[in-house]
Amino acid sequence: MKWYKSLNYPRWAIINFIVLSIFGVLLRYMQLYDVPKLDYQFILHAHSHFAFSGWMFFSIALLIASLCNEGKIGSGFKAILLLTLISAYGMLASFSWQGYKLVSISFSTLFVLVTFRFTYLVSHGNLLKKRVNEPAYILLRGSLFLLCLSALGPFALGPLAALGLKNTPYYQDAIYFYLHFQMNGFMLLAVLGLLVAAFPITPLRRRSRLWLYVFVFSAVPLYFIFSLWSNPGRVIWILAAISAGLNLASWLVLCFSFRSQWRNLSFIERAAFIGLTLKCVFQVFVCIPAIGDWTFLNRNLIIGYIHLLTLGIIMPLLIGQFLRKGMIRSCKLVATVNILYVILAVTYLCLLFLQPLLALFAIVIPSYQFLLFLLCLSFLPVGILLLFKAKRQRS
């Protein structure tokens, strides 16, 4: 047996979250104090790339692999998980050391290729269609399509730089293209699909199926929201508003259509659904030109939106899935940890969103950056406690 087949992948997922939290704490610390020989932008790139690869993609891939093989993980998927770890830690080290250079770009390219291979393994032989209900299949298939589509963003950076467009909105839009289709596309749809797969849902009615497809495909034009920062013109603003409206409307209709399943949701999953509703509402408000212009001038609002997606929606749904799959042992301690996590996430997000609003009235929250630092530090015990309760995945 190859050594990588015996790796405890569920525990590696939690370890990756702890490592990610440590880098988040470091970033907040660097905003308070000078850290010699460390470049803030390099650490920021390392943190974001590791968040996408080492924590969220790794965890989602682990859960989908388990779903495809009835609780077990095949050797092909284990190779994918191993390569994900190699590329994730390679990016973490190389981006921290030198930023965007040959080594970090090589590991980033490896990660993109791994995502292609993962999509092929899941799609080959209709593994998902045989094991999940219809809405879960639609969500997961859509997530994999958008995962592959997101790769167009980083692949466009080289040609754009060669054409002398590195300091233009096109270059930044290519980066946002990747971020959007990773977070609002692959990650969000995947965690929702994994959750829905756990419910005994009968075949969809025509109306529900239509709105589900609207929700999935509205993620494509929703990208226009990420291009509004450069004031692209009235047509783009209108397209962004229509897509944001459809995204919100379809989400609300789906929540109403499947309201009978709310009783099956855990506390942390219900918190994620509230966060998702707020995210959809936030997107609609951003499409109002005056609010949108103000939003893009406030970095904390952008950071707040990203963390609402990651900390407020994707992370809680991942924890919920680890518990449902038995990868984390369910007990009173874990239930308490879940409550603590929600409290920390809500407080952190409120601070991020509240300060820009108060700034309109010339009000500054005392010790604002230090409070954010303390909250980031508080996520570490959550990860450590979850690690102690992580089970070994069956071979």
Residue type, 101: K
Which residue, 333, 306, 315, 212, is CA-closest to 272?
315
Average pLDDT, the chain: 89
Q: What is the pLDDT of residue 1?
A: 46
Is residue 41 predicted with pLDDT exceeding 50?
A: yes
pLDDT tier at 20, thresholds 50, 70, 90: very high
Tokens describing residue 95: 């981006």
pLDDT tier at 76, thresholds 50, 70, 90: confident
Q: What is the pLDDT of residue 5?
A: 59
Task: Determine contact, residues 327/10, Cβ cutoff 8 Å.
Answer: yes
Q: Is 9 exposed, middle or buried (0-12, 13-18, 19+ CB in 10 A)?
A: buried
Instruction: Note the pLDDT tens digit of each residue in 346-357.
Output: 999 999 999 988
Instruction: Note the pLDDT tens digit of each residue in 241-266.
Output: 999 999 999 999 999 888 877 888 99
Q: Which residue has the higher pLDDT, 198 or 72?
A: 198
Residue 353: CB atoms within 10 A of its CB come to 19
Phi-psi map region of 38: left, alpha, beta (phi>0 left; psi -120 to 50 alpha) = beta
Is residue 231 predicted with pLDDT exceeding 90?
A: no
Q: What angle do CA 190, 185, 4 make, to 5 degrees?
A: 50
Q: What percent of the chain has pLDDT over 70?
A: 97
Is residue 142 predicted with pLDDT exceeding 90?
A: yes
- Across 154-160, average pLDDT: 87
Instruction: Note the pLDDT tens digit of each residue in 87-112.
Output: 999 999 999 998 888 898 999 999 99
pLDDT tier at 71, thresholds 50, 70, 90: low
């589900």: which residue's tokens?
212
pLDDT tier at 393, thresholds 50, 70, 90: very low
pTM of the model: 0.93
Q: Is 76 exposed, middle or buried (0-12, 13-18, 19+ CB in 10 A)?
A: middle
